Structure 1
């Protein structure tokens, strides 16, 4: 795709004889919300791990903003504007909510005033302003997920990768999350790994379906919903 923010070509990974991902070609445009779905064991986590730099590919290339980043370590991909909620922004249970986000903010900002302002903004965006001084370990699971999102947002990424972000959220919090994604897409492309199909269908511009490590289908949410191969492999309606 011309002008894609993220592109992979022939991306593959083999673990001790197991072919986890096979020759995936993938393009993500600037400002796009792309959902990545598929059954358990389809290769989603491995694919995202290669994109983030946590898993070395066996073959293929990864381009980010036109630059070949296939051999770059994860921390250098972060500096180029990539954030991943699980592997970049782990929650430190013994630190306050504010301190967790501040640690992430310092990846790009210096000065206590600038950091504090960015932290306050990020917490407000995810609805955790009133939990700022609470220990992160005391948050509910759903609120810890929101904290991870705040830690991603405070880095002002160009690509935000969210792995199962609505897991553990209440219905009201899911509505807030959807509003947040619609706002964030104005500044960043979003890759969303999500099992909640209502969220996928409402938020995604396009959906990529993985099955047995290969791309089974790609298209708009409506096209994916009507795809018979996807229905049989994943949606359970075939």
Structure 2
């Protein structure tokens, strides 16, 4: 089976710093994969390369068997790659509804009217638990709810690959349980790659875990294998929070 996402020798330099260093990474259709590692390990730079926000210094990226290394970000979105940012990126002055309506309109076939847009928006807002806040200006939402809105915007694009960058940051414990259920539901239709520091979330959700350190992949395996890996413990898990 062709991997959904594959990188080979992927690298990115910033001046004299190599933030991502020769990463070979494979992600199969239908996975929930966690990407973990200490701050500065290169995780966000790696997924920024995958979604096209920054260009690689070396290496290749293939999505569903096609080389996308030089494709601009908006073309990757059309292919089915959606990325929610570590720092919330919403239209703060627009209502929650309008934030989601914009990407819904992009996925509808030409000629479908406002009823189809509304149905699509409300379906996504129901999924993330924000349907009752549809009329609220996005900037007035609590931070955790802004993160959920960002997930809704990603979902509205009907992605094949949904990349979540620190999605539980700012969520209360009860909201985290709801988030875990939501990701499991999303994974029925999309592949999920999640950068996460909350190890409870990682161990509950991920089928496999990739650990980065200093721009390289340090280890890969099941949550149980990663928990027992001494190199990972030394680099990260011994000092991880949550």
Scaled to the shorter chain, the TM-score interval is: over 0.9
**What displacement does 1:72 show?**
0.1
Partner of 1:216: 218
Residues 175-226 of structure 1 show CA distances to partners (whole Å, capped at 9, x for unaligned) of 1111111111110000000000000000000000000000000000000000
Secondary structure at the aligned position of 1:144 is classed as: helix
Residues 138-165 of structure 1 show CA distances to partners (whole Å, capped at 9, x for unaligned) of 0000000000001111111000000011
Residues 21-76 of structure 1 show CA distances to partners (whole Å, capped at 9, x for unaligned) of 11100011110000000000000111011000011001100000000000000000
**Cα distance between partner residues in 1 of 2:16 and 2:30:** 37
Partner of 1:98: 97
Secondary structure at the aligned position of 1:106 is classed as: helix
Partner of 1:133: 135
Counterpart pick for 2:145 among 143, 146, 161? 143
Secondary structure at the aligned position of 2:236 is classed as: helix
Secondary structure at the aligned position of 2:3 is classed as: coil
**What displacement does 1:96 show?**
0.2
Aligned residues: 236
**Cα distance between partner residues in 2 of 1:90 and 1:79:** 19
**What displacement does 1:86 show?**
1.6
Q: Tell me, yes or no, if structure 1 residue 32 matches structure 2 residue 31.
A: yes
**Cα distance between partner residues in 2 of 1:104 and 1:148:** 11
Partner of 1:166: 168
**Cα distance between partner residues in 2 of 1:165 and 1:21:** 22
Partner of 1:82: 81
Secondary structure at the aligned position of 1:93 is classed as: coil
**What displacement does 1:114 show?**
1.4
TM-score if structure 1 supplies the norm length? 0.96
**Cα distance between partner residues in 1 of 2:188 and 2:89:** 25
Partner of 1:5: 4
Residues 77-97 of structure 1 show CA distances to partners (whole Å, capped at 9, x for unaligned) of 00000100128x820010000
- Unaligned residue ranges in structure 1 (runs of 5+): none
CA RMSD of aligned residues (A): 1.4
Secondary structure at the aligned position of 1:83 is classed as: strand
Q: Tell me, yes or no, if structure 1 residue 64 matches structure 2 residue 63.
A: yes
Runs of 4+ with >3 A deviation: none
**Cα distance between partner residues in 2 of 1:151 and 1:111:** 20
**Cα distance between partner residues in 2 of 1:115 and 1:123:** 12
Moved more, 108-117 or 26-35: 108-117
**Cα distance between partner residues in 2 of 1:44 and 1:194:** 10
- Unaligned residue ranges in structure 2 (runs of 5+): none
Residues 91-123 of structure 1 show CA distances to partners (whole Å, capped at 9, x for unaligned) of 001000000001121221253211111100000
